[in-house]
Amino acid sequence: MTKFTKIASVSVLALIGAVTMAQADEWRGWAIHPEDYPNTVAMQSFADKVKEVTEGRIEPTVYANGILGSQPDAIEQVRSGALAWANFNMGPMGEIVPATNVLSLPFIFRDVEQMHHAMDGAVGQQFSDALSEAGIVALSWFDSGSRSFYNTKKAIHSPADMDGLKFRVMNNDLYVQMVDALGGNATPMAYGEVYQSLQTGVIDGAENNYPSFESSNHYEVAKYYSVTNHLIIPECLCVAASVWEGVSDADKAAIKDAAMEAAKQQRELWAARETASLDKVKAAGVEVNNVDDPAAFQSAMAPIYANFIAAHPDLEQLIKDIQATE
């Protein structure tokens, strides 16, 4: 091979490389949590796997720490196709996909295991169908543990202790009703604003699972975490329907498999992180207490269920399906 043909063939290869690169379809992904959080780690595994199985034709990327916006904004961006995929908590989804509000009814699941059984079966399919109609394809379900109240003032033992305290909630009217019913005041607010609001006293508390309480550093300011387990809300690994439509059937199958694998990994990492986060916040001086009478918190929710069913009689069966899940 002459020097010239060598250069020529190297350039041809570079050109083919460049064309291949140019053809890779970037799937911009939204993640609210930091890089080392179970959900973000699983999203990155999904991204790597999708790139591998599509031989680089699709290249998902992960923008962590909510840098692409708040969750309600990101939901809109996925619906419009401006973002290709995301990991969404179903809480803020209720405003757009009413059926998902069933997942925001306090104490709807007995425990996380029941939530897994429900979401991995026919119940989960009903939520996927409802999301699809809104332009969001749920490929698999992540764990988000269970949420409890924390605050800067005092341990909560009974609903009466919430009197006069201001709690941040996610963007969904059901959570405002929930805190009201317990005697506290609710302030819907974006996740990214909570730390500063706790610090400056704009709010007295919030509610979340251990990993979020810890990774968001809210535990540095809020020293009382009272275990109510009032919400068990699943999260999805979701793709924009407009993006999904353009994917071949063979790629769809491989991507779906990658999403199921990512969910499996997320759930394993989640279990370990819950313990690690709890240990970390306790070591940092957070007082963690079980509430005296969990039933008092649960029975306060009866009017919320009654109002919800009155407003959405079509969703009553779904509530019953969940409650009947093993």
209 binds ligand GTR (CB under 6 A): yes
DSSP string, 115-148: HHHHHTSHHHHHHHHHHHHTTEEEEEEE----EE
For residue 175, give Cα distances in angstroms to 118, 273, 295.
Answer: 22, 25, 18
CA distance 45 to 262: 6
Contact status: 150 vs ligand GTR (CB under 6 A): no
User: Does residue number 104 form part of the binding site for ligand GTR (CB under 6 A)?
Assistant: no
Q: CA 48 to CA 223: how far, in whole Å?
A: 38
How many residues touch ligand GTR under the rule CB under 6 A: the total is 11
**Segment 14-33, which members bind ligand GTR (CB under 6 A)?**
32
**How many whole angstroms separate alpha carbon 161 and alpha carbon 153?**
10
Question: Where does this chain touch ligand GTR (CB under 6 A) — which range of 75-83, 109-117, 204-212, 284-292?
Answer: 204-212
**Contact between 91 and ligand GTR (CB under 6 A)?**
yes
Give yes or no for residue 40 binding ligand GTR (CB under 6 A): no
Q: Could you say whether residue 208 binds ligand GTR (CB under 6 A)?
A: yes
DSSP symbol at 152: S
Smaller CB distance to ligand GTR: residue 93 or 300? Answer: 93
Measure the CA–CA gap between 289 and 199, rounded to whole angstroms.
22
Shortest approach of ligand GTR to residue 203 CB, angstroms? 13
Nearer to ligand GTR, 38 or 124 (CB): 38
Q: Is 266 in the site for ligand GTR (CB under 6 A)?
A: no
Stretch that binds ligand GTR, among 115-123, 180-188, 208-216, 251-259 (CB under 6 A): 208-216
Residues at the contact surface with ligand GTR, assessed by CB under 6 A: 32, 71, 89, 91, 144, 170, 191, 208-209, 212, 235
